[in-house]
Amino acid sequence: MPTVVEPKLIAGNSNLPLASSIARRMSMHRGMTVDLVNARVERFNDGEIFVEVFENVRGEDMFIIQSTSNPANDNLMELLIIADALRRSSAQRVTAVIPYFGYARQDRRTKARTPISAKLVANMLVEAGIARVLTMDLHAAQIQGFFDIPVDNLYASPIFALDIKNQFRDSMSDLMVVSPDVGGVARARELAKRIDAPLAIVDKRREKPGEVADMTVIGEVAGKKCIIVDDMVDTAGTLCKAADLLTSSGATEVHAYISHGVLSGPAVERVSKSVMKSLVITDSIAATDAVKACENIRILPTAPMFAQATLNIWNGTSVSSLFETDTLEPIYEGFFKG
């Protein structure tokens, strides 16, 4: 068996800027150049995806960087086909680095005769030859149990905590962390503990999917700077309504920290017109031009965290150490200072 000298990265087309950033960060940590493997991932005229790897990967520890974001099906197929190409090229191990795990919202049967698509995707990834998955802020933590391979689920909350302590360093005592629904309380509580802030909840009731019938604030938010925390923002309708409710309940400012900025349909326009002073997302999903141009949307980098996690997997050290703010702060090398 050939000796694995360096980790090798290969990227699909879903988020090439993030893949390049991860490679640069790994180069800094390693003190030597870590490039993306030379390959082509393209489509035939009928939409079929074709992959060709131009470098020898026999016996190598391969990491595929690919979010399964919009277009979810195309990006998922790219991931599966890249994995198959690497397996057939005798790669020693294939790890899928999936910053945003698509289909995660379909993690259970909500009514009769519906699928559990997240489980189906897990089965497909394993069958394609993927030996390990690295992702961030799964919509439901139990999705890790859908896999019979190791799954490392990173958290954006330590990055958010660093940014909040920088952005609100003169008014930390005025902060109130808000969960936009009862199901997200654990996520919000985690961030609240990190920044030593109280917690409130927006209780929402839906008459049908995608439409909120009624919302109520549980907790005293008057005079507070509210920070809404969630794992993803899609059309931003519920988020903007929650911001309106908090403002009408006496909040002086409303900000949102959301791990994955899906931001589909009218989302960017809604955010730009919202009472929210800022929406902070990560770069787990490649930002569109509209997102980049929106004045009250900020994007935090995840490349330092994913680069370190990839190196930790490669050299067999702890990934869970990256759950701690104290561990991430030096990795971000003063990004949030001043």
Annotated ligand binding at 302? The verdict is no
Annotated ligand binding at 247? The verdict is no
Q: Of 9, 123, 21, 23, which Cα lies nearest the Cα of 76?
A: 123
Annotated ligand binding at 93? The verdict is no
Annotated ligand binding at 238? The verdict is yes
Annotated ligand binding at 33? The verdict is no
* 83/72 Cα distance (integer angstroms): 17
Q: Which residues are catalytic?
A: 204
- End-to-end, the C-alpha distance of the chain in Å comes to 49
Annotated ligand binding at 183? The verdict is no
Annotated ligand binding at 234? The verdict is yes
Annotated ligand binding at 237? The verdict is yes
Annotated ligand binding at 105? The verdict is yes
Annotated ligand binding at 220? The verdict is no
Annotated ligand binding at 29? The verdict is no
Annotated ligand binding at 189? The verdict is no
Q: Binding site for ATP: what residues are annotated?
A: 46-48, 105-106
Q: Binding site: what residues are annotated?
A: 46-48, 105-106, 139, 181, 206, 230, 234-238
Q: Binding site for D-ribose 5-phosphate: what residues are annotated?
A: 206, 230, 234-238
Q: Binding site for Mg(2+): what residues are annotated?
A: 139, 181
